[in-house]
């Protein structure tokens, strides 16, 4: 597996400086947050373990004779056939072994991330971004001009969430270039540079819709927040 990405002090400075520069061109306020991951996905590991059990039971139901022969070999090959009670007991043991093996393997976060469906990862990242926006930026400026740039490293996915005054003026598709350019840099391991480029794109969009009036104070932190 590739080495895990992490933020450096240089990355923090790149992003923070980009935020400060972008905000000189607009009354909008930009908040940047980067997280290792957006969810632990423990439920995904549980779901795979349960699925493994059901697949094992389905295979036994489809090929009972083969499973019986396999169990006989496991017991030393001294029997010609198994009683129903012993067969079911061994099937139960097999199910428990499958469940515990998968739960143990998927206790490893990186492996659990690999088997998590992309759609699930996308939903969890979006949900976390919205929650963080509500906690850090929503309605925290006088003009409701806050916008959050959120990056989740393990999922390699980002979200841009804007407050009401921005959302009413900016079509969500206008954030597309910022997202695309950032993710290209992030996938290449240049996290700080990617976020800084995205911030400058966001600043350019905000400058068109919310140009500076000279009366808007800096109400949200410029520094990059790392969770």
Q: What is the Cα–Cα distance from 75 to 108, expressed in whole angstroms? A: 32
* Number of domain units in the chain: 2
- 192 within some domain: yes
Contact 100, 92 (CB under 8 A): no
Average pLDDT of the residues in 147-171: 86
- 143 within some domain: yes
Average pLDDT of the chain, as a whole number: 86
Which of 75, 98, 113 is the endpoint of a domain?
113
Place of tokens 């129903």: 84
What proportions of the chain, in percent to the nearest 5, are helix, strand and coil? 60, 10, 30
Q: Give the tokens for residue 191.
A: 């996290």
- 2 within some domain: no
| pLDDT score for 2 | 47
93 and 192: one domain? no
30 and 92: one domain? no
- 4 within some domain: no
CATH number at residue 142: 3.10.310.50
130 and 52: one domain? no
Q: Give the tokens for residue 13.
A: 């400075």
190 and 96: one domain? no
34 and 145: one domain? yes
108 and 134: one domain? no
Which of 54, 82, 113 is the endpoint of a domain?
113
- 3 within some domain: no
Domain that holds residue 98: 42-113
50 and 70: one domain? yes
- 179 within some domain: yes
Contact 102, 116 (CB under 8 A): no
22 and 71: one domain? no
Q: What's the predicted TM-score (pTM) here?
A: 0.80
| pLDDT tens figures, 162-217 | 888 788 888 888 888 888 888 888 888 888 888 898 899 888 888 888 888 766 66
Give the pLDDT band (50/70/90) at residue 139.
low
User: Has residue 138 got a pLDDT over 80?
Assistant: no
- The 8-class DSSP code of residue 138 comes to T
185 and 159: one domain? yes
Cβ burial, residue 215 (10 Å; 0-12/13-18/19+): exposed
35 and 127: one domain? yes
Average pLDDT of the residues in 3-7: 64
206 and 138: one domain? yes
- 171 within some domain: yes
Q: Which among 212, 220, 198 has a CA at the least distance from the CA of 133?
A: 220
Q: Give the tokens for residue 179.
A: 């997202």
| pLDDT score for 89 | 93
Average pLDDT of the residues in 100-125: 93
Q: What is the Cα–Cα distance from 103 to 40, expressed in whole angstroms? A: 14
127 and 216: one domain? yes
| pLDDT score for 23 | 84
| pLDDT score for 1 | 42
| pLDDT tens figures, 32-86 | 899 989 999 999 999 999 999 999 999 999 999 888 888 888 888 777 788 889 8
- 1 within some domain: no
């Amino acid at each position: 597996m590739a080495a895990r990405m992490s933020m450096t002090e240089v990355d923090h400075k790149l992003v923070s400086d980009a935020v400060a520069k972008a905000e000189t061109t607009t009354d909008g306020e930009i908040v940047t947050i980067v997280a290792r991951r957006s969810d632990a996905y423990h439920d995904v590991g549980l779901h795979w373990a349960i699925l493994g059990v059901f697949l094992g039971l389905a295979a036994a139901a489809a090929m009972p004779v083969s499973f019986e022969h396999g169990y006989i070999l496991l017991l030393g090959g001294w029997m010609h056939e198994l009683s129903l009670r012993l067969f079911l007991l061994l099937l139960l043991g097999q199910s428990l072994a499958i469940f515990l093996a998968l739960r143990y393997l998927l206790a490893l976060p990186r492996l659990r991330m690999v088997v998590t469906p992309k759609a699930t990862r996308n939903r969890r990242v979006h949900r976390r971004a919205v929650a963080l926006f509500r906690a850090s930026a929503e309605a925290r400026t006088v003009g409701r001009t806050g916008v959050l740039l959120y990056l989740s490293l393990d999922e390699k996915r980002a979200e841009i969430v804007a407050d009401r005054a921005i959302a009413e003026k900016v079509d969500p598709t206008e954030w597309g270039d910022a997202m695309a350019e950032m993710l290209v840099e992030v996938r290449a391991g240049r996290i700080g540079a990617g976020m800084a480029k995205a911030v400058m794109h966001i600043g350019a969009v905000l400058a068109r819709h919310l140009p500076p009036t000279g009366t808007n104070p800096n109400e949200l932190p410029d520094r990059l927040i790392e969770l």
